[in-house]
Amino acid sequence: MKLSLIPCVILCGGKGSRLGKLTKKIPKPLLKISKHPIVYHIIVNYFKFGVRKFILLTGYRHNEFENYFKSLKKNKVFEKKKKIIKFKVRLKEEIDVILINTGLNTLKKNRLLLAKRFIENDTFFLTYGDGLGIVNIKKQLIFHKKNKKIMTLLGTNPPSRFGEVKIKKNKVMSLNEKPLMSEGLINGGYMVMEKKIFKYFSGNNKDLEHGVINRLCKKGEVAGYINRKFWQCMDNEREFNLLKKELKNNLKLKLFFNL
């Protein structure tokens, strides 16, 4: 399957409260870690491997996302409704960006449900708007298709407080989203999903990780693709400053994320 036909959904609706004053007026995915915000770099990673359709699920300060994409050169709005705005954005090639205002306090799984009608293929990508990595999206997709699971998580292993993943023979056995101490692999986002995952969405108050992904883990329907290359989350001000430093001083990162 051509990657240009597979949409990438990015969760961008949270308040980013652990970043304090940095997110008082700017949503976390729009914080600049170079001359561009982190969400731009996430898009570049997928773009470099052929993805051309992006769906951003916003909430907190949705209008800032509209303003940002309107400010980019050689872009244009080609459709706007009450809570949905579609852009044509020019990188090295043109990409489609859909912004969906999914509400301020909506659970991640319910945000994702609002994107379902824009996902035309059986397979789609999903990631968070606050984790940046160098991920070979093409190899991950091949891995996902080979393992024939409903979803594939990205396992990565920097020190972290959250998202511990236990992987055995390519199968994710459990996802402990916020353990007190994490050893080994963590959930780095960058997920591949089959559209049939929506059958596992229930009306309880458990969110995507505990209410859906762990349920699939118990059924043996989650594969684990291990990424040994760069990955860094941006959960607090220290990590924000670390990412800025990496994008400034790490030549490999500068070359990869430069378009």
Residue 60 has what DSSP assignment?
Answer: T
pLDDT computed for residue 187 by the predictor: 86
- Write out the chain's pLDDT in tens, 259 residues: 799 999 999 999 999 999 999 999 999 999 999 999 999 999 999 999 999 999 999 999 999 999 999 998 777 787 888 899 999 999 889 999 999 999 999 999 999 999 999 999 999 999 999 999 999 999 999 999 999 999 999 988 765 444 455 666 667 655 565 443 344 678 889 999 999 999 999 878 889 998 999 999 999 999 999 998 999 999 999 999 999 999 999 999 999 998 7
Pairwise CA distance, residues 216 & 172, whole Å: 9
Positive or negative: CA dihedral 251, 254, 257, 259: negative
pLDDT computed for residue 184 by the predictor: 63
| 58 CA to centre of own chain | 12
pLDDT computed for residue 34 by the predictor: 95
pLDDT computed for residue 160 by the predictor: 46
Q: Report the chain's mean pLDDT, rounded to a whole number.
A: 89
Longest dimension (CA), the chain: 47
Pairwise CA distance, residues 62 & 84, whole Å: 10
Phi, psi (5° rounding) for residue 86? -115, 135
Other beta carbons within 10 angstroms of residue 153's beta carbon come to 30
Angle, in degrees to the nearest 10, between helices 137-147 and 38-48:
70
Distances (CA, A) of 62 to 27, 69, 89, 137, 253: 8, 11, 18, 27, 29
Other beta carbons within 10 angstroms of residue 9's beta carbon come to 24
Separation of first and last alpha carbons in the chain: 25
Tokens of 235: 């959960």
